[in-house]
Amino acid sequence: MAGADDTGSKQRLELSRRRAMFRRGVRYVDLDQLQARVFLTTFRVHLRVVSMRAVRVAIVDPYEEALNRFEQLIQTAKKTEVRAPLTMTLATADHRCRPSVRTVVVKHFDRRGFVFLTHCGSRKGVQLAENPFAALCFYFQPLLEQVTIEGPVGVVESEETDGYWAGRARDAQFAAWASRQSEPLDHRTTLTKRLSEFQKQFADQRVPRPSEWIGYRIVPERIEFWRAGWRHLHERVCYTKTPAGWRVELLCP
């Protein structure tokens, strides 16, 4: 009981000390309470930051961000002397992993991927059948910007491909009929003869899509933006698809 008395008298002493200080205008600061308040405030701020980050991750999907960035770049490039910004270098590789490149035009791109049209019996068509992966490269010279995209390749559904085919110039449609793309050609006249045959065959009517001309879609798994930087400290931002979702990181130039 002596201990309880001691505690009681200590508390009374402390109380009268605080009252005396209060009368003298000294506002008593309880350090424990202050510490608890600081902790709570910090914790609340921390929670707010964490939840804002979660919201940002939920709202700003990195893949969407990459596609928007690409779209903006295309719009900017259109304002420069670049004539066809959706022209890209397409790399494929054969079954022995030997690479080859050529230029093709992107007909459409969205979340599903980047579509181009070609002859399935062409060199690239054969390679894509053997090894359905590709890499793309866009270079916007006036902007000193480059975009590279890599991923697996699939064949686009015929109805959708028909839509892109319909958007081709009539001359380009006839040329596609006339050309057995990538096959050896004995003479130019063989090609021009074939062209006039098809021009006759489809005169005054819509040119149908040859069954060999198909759409391929590259489904991005990696998208990298490169921008020329001051003193060669170029900027590289890489979006990569991972099992946990899309990851964004800077890369050394």
Ligand X SMILES: Cc1cc2nc3c(=O)[nH]c(=O)nc-3n(C[C@H](O)[C@H](O)[C@H](O)COP(=O)(O)O)c2cc1C
Question: Which residues of the shown chain bind ligand X in the complex (CB under 6 A)?
Answer: 87, 100, 102-105, 116-118, 122-124, 181-182
DSSP state of 97: -
Residue 192, token pair as written in the block? 């021009």
DSSP state of 15: H
> Minimum distance between the CB of residue 101 and ligand X, rounded to whole angstroms?
8
Q: Nearer to ligand X by C-beta: 105 or 191?
A: 105
With beta carbons less than 8 A apart as the criterion, state whether 107 and 117 touch. Answer: yes
Residue 188, token pair as written in the block? 């130019």
Provide the CB-side half-sphere exposure for 93 (13 A, CA).
Answer: 11
> Angle, nearest 10°, between helix axes 170-178 and 188-201?
120
> Minimum distance between the CB of residue 244 and ligand X, rounded to whole angstroms?
35
> Minimum distance between the CB of residue 76 and ligand X, rounded to whole angstroms?
20
What is the distance between the alpha carbons of residues 104 and 164, in angstroms, rounded to a whole number?
Answer: 14
Q: Nearer to ligand X by C-beta: 85 or 246?
A: 85
> Minimum distance between the CB of residue 48 and ligand X, rounded to whole angstroms?
50
- Other beta carbons within 10 angstroms of residue 177's beta carbon come to 20
Q: Nearer to ligand X by C-beta: 100 or 190?
A: 100
Provide the CB-side half-sphere exposure for 5 (13 A, CA).
Answer: 2
Q: Nearer to ligand X by C-beta: 117 or 147?
A: 117
Q: Nearer to ligand X by C-beta: 126 or 238?
A: 126
> Minimum distance between the CB of residue 107 and ligand X, rounded to whole angstroms?
8
